[in-house]
Amino acid sequence: MAKGITGEIIEGHADGRSEGKYLSVEVDFVLLHDPTFALLLPELKESGEEIWDRDKVLLTVDHFAPPSSIERANMVKEVLSFAAEKKLPHLSVYQGICHQLLVEGPWLKPGMLVLGADSHTVTGGALGCLATGMGSTDILYSLITGRAWLKPPEAVRIDLREKLPPYLMGKDVILDLLGRYGEGGFLYQAMEFYDMDEALSMDDRFAICNMAVEGGAKNGLFQPDRVTEDFLIERDGCLSHPVNRFDGERPYSRKIEVELSKIKPKVALPHSPAQVIDAEEMRGEAIDQVFIGSCTGGRLRDIELTAKLLMGRKVARGVNLLVTPASQRIYQKAIEKGYISTIIGAGGVVLNPSCGPCGGIDKGILGREEKCLSTSNRNFKGRMGDPSSKVFLSSPLTAAASALAGRIIDPREVM
Amino acid sequence: MALPEIISGRVWKLGDHVNTDLLHPPSHFTPDEKRMKEGIAEGRTRLGAGVKGDSSEEGWIIVAGENFGCGSSRETSVRGLASFGVKGVVAVYFARIFMRSLVNLGIPVFEAKEIQGCVKDGEMIRISLKEVWIEGPDSKRFPFSPLDPHLRRILEAGGLIGYLRSEKHGI
């Protein structure tokens, strides 16, 4: 079987037990956030069991951050009182979106096996881990046992060649793949990316892995390389262990070649992240709102390119531009570098780091038949508001350019 | 053994790529079981259910198309289905997190291809886990892919929490 790096990680974590096609594996780290943890909390308490290793758990409050209703406030209160009672060492309240906090912190390293109670946990695969999302009951099982049952997936190798031209971002790369292979195009599979020219930034890689789940994949993963090592050194101050680069040839069930310079800026049409066309084909679709943020598109590079494009310009009349940095750390850096000031100067509204508009949680909810261009990962019907509203997805560059134009355009028109 | 030999219920038909946001709109996220169920009723309205009304004395069996349950891992969509009286789910194929969550909550899953074109909303169907068939209203039978032994064991334990208990007690 073409097991790829993912299969090697699973085998390396197997404890020797198997049932059907599933292997019992040891888990290195678990990510939790307020709503999905609130769901499993009553059962965890009722079981009388303890978390297997509190040091290997990050609990974040990022969805209801801060809460916008009494019910949500009560959920957050429950979660926080449990964290205090159990003295959870890694707790992050209103500091940003869990998938960004997980990779900013010192925990994830190449070769680890990481689970999260959120489908976009796949983001962490950009660091060369096997990171995947599960439902609350699966996570409850792992929290108690420190294990999980995984079915080793078929692995697909995706070779990325050359550099991204200045008008493209990681988001365009993953939208291009989703457009070509569809919402079920990588079902149950591992998408393993090899950056042949070591030319993609970590922020672009996070955006790519983040949307692996939109193709049905179990996980997305970048083969660790120099870019990974540089990121880890900057993050941790040094490399605590030599990085396993997973060098060497291995069999794959499919191989896909992507020439980065051949891609054009992409837009996903309502209501599927896999219904993708070139931005230049949009023929000036008018929009009411532009949202730049989320665990896909709210990182420093996203904010930086947005600000550089908006510099000295004004957002079109009738368009609301909302910008949400993915974490407080990113927010602070964006302030220091002047990006936030530029965005505000152009007419943008900056919201505090949280999930916010992406899942229709709070702020920037869409009204009847409103149209939004978003840098998030999902444009399912009704996800961001009224069921008659429409969400288009693009890179932050395309989103910023479209905010200036008041309609969806190819960013090359204003670069 | 919590798993019955025969499951029967009324068909709730769904198309391809029905995601969890459609099934249970994220604005309806709640830990409250009653309101969770209301989220499914809202999803049914948005999806344009072919059968009026939300209650079925016989319970529901969903018959969906490809990639059923893609999207979010929020288990409210699956818990809502359980409260709604969904006793089993048939699909051409499932999205992986959604399938795990259905099994974890003790709802049997069946991968079958031909049945989608042969049943209508509201019709009664029966499923035999033992003999591996789904029977439509005209008594025509369709096969489904055999369940992986691991998933079967979880279902027999009534879900993943029951499975965990049996693991702990070495049953």
pLDDT digits (tens), chain B, 171 positions: 568 999 999 999 999 999 999 999 988 899 999 999 999 999 998 888 666 666 778 999 999 999 999 999 999 999 999 999 999 999 999 999 999 999 999 999 999 999 999 999 999 999 999 999 999 999 999 999 999 999 999 999 999 999 999 998 764
Binary contact (B104, A360; C-beta < 8 A): no
Regarding whether A43 and A55 lie in a shared domain, the answer is: yes
Long-range contacts of A177-182 (CB under 8 A, 24+ apart): A177/A215, A177/A256, A177/A258, A178/A211, A178/A214, A178/A215, A178/A268, A178/A273, A178/A274, A178/A276, A179/A266, A179/A268, A179/A274, A179/A275, A179/A276, A179/A277, A181/A215, A181/A274, A182/A215, A182/A274
Nearest 10 degrees: CA dihedral of B19, B22, B28, B30? -30
Residue range of the domain that includes A100: 1-263
Look-up: residue for tokens 């049905």? Answer: A216
Regarding whether A153 and A212 lie in a shared domain, the answer is: yes
Give contacts of A380 with chain B, Cβ < 8 Å: 19, 21-22, 71
Token pair in block for residue B53: 């009304």
Closest alpha carbon within chain B to A147: B164
Give the number of other CB atoms < 10 A from CB of residue B5.
10
Give contacts of A216 with chain B, Cβ < 8 Å: 67, 70, 95-96
CA distance A330 to A333: 5
Binary contact (B72, A119; C-beta < 8 A): yes
Binary contact (A360, B96; C-beta < 8 A): no
Q: Which residues of chain A have pLDDT under 50?
A: none
Q: Which of A263, A289, A310 is the last residue of a domain?
A: A263
Regarding whether A291 and A234 lie in a shared domain, the answer is: no
CA distance A85 to A93: 16
Report CA-CA distances (Å) from B86 to B57, B58, B102.
11, 10, 10
Report CA-CA distances (Å) from A126 to A99, A192, A212.
11, 10, 11
* Rg of the Cα atoms in chain B: 15
Classified as helix, coil or strand, A167 is coil
Give the number of other CB atoms < 10 A from CB of residue B162.
17
Q: Which of A263, A284, A303 is the last residue of a domain?
A: A263
pLDDT digit string, tens, across residues A157-184: 999 999 999 999 999 999 999 999 999 9
CATH of the domain at A193: 3.30.499.10
pLDDT of the residue at B52: 65
Mutation for B interface: A6, A78, A186, A383, most B CBs within 10 A: A383
Architecture of the domain spanning B6-168: Alpha-Beta Barrel (3.20)
Beta strands in chain B (DSSP E): 6-13, 60-63, 86-91, 109-111, 124-128, 133-135, 141-143
Q: Which amino acid is at A170?
A: G
CA distance A364 to A351: 10
pLDDT of the residue at B53: 66
Binary contact (B97, A381; C-beta < 8 A): no
Give contacts of A133 with chain B, Cβ < 8 Å: 73, 97
For A135, which of B67, B97, B153 is closest by C-beta distance? B97
Quick check: B147 and B136 in contact, CB under 8 A? Answer: no
Binary contact (A137, B104; C-beta < 8 A): yes
pLDDT of the residue at B148: 97
Regarding whether A241 and A230 lie in a shared domain, the answer is: yes
Binary contact (A381, B22; C-beta < 8 A): yes
What residues does each domain of chain B span? 6-168
Regarding whether A292 and A176 lie in a shared domain, the answer is: no
Handedness of CA B80, B81, B87, B89 (dihedral sign): negative
Report CA-CA distances (Å) from B37 to A146, B23, B54, B105.
32, 11, 10, 15
- Find, among A222, A86, A254, the residue nearest to A156 by Cα: A254
Beta strands in A9-63 (DSSP E): 14-19, 22-26, 29-33, 57-61
Binary contact (A187, B72; C-beta < 8 A): no
Q: Which of A214, A235, A263 is the last residue of a domain?
A: A263
Distance from the Cα of B91 to chain A's closest Cα (Å) equals: 13
Here the ipTM equals 0.97
Handedness of CA A402, A404, A407, A409 (dihedral sign): negative
pLDDT digit string, tens, across residues A278-308: 999 998 899 999 999 999 999 999 999 999 9
Question: How many domains is chain A partitioned into structurally?
Answer: 2
For A137, which of B70, B75, B149 is closest by C-beta distance? B75
Regarding whether A324 and A238 lie in a shared domain, the answer is: no
Beta strands in A270-368 (DSSP E): 276-278, 289-292, 320-323, 349-350
Give contacts of B32 with chain A, Cβ < 8 Å: 71
How is chain A split among helix, strand and coil, in percent rounded to 5?
40, 20, 40
pLDDT of the residue at B55: 72
For B96, which of A42, A218, A383 is closest by C-beta distance? A218
Regarding whether A202 and A66 lie in a shared domain, the answer is: yes
**Which uninterrupted H or E stretch holds A193?**
strand A190-195
Number of A:B CB contacts under 8 A?
124
pLDDT of the residue at B171: 46
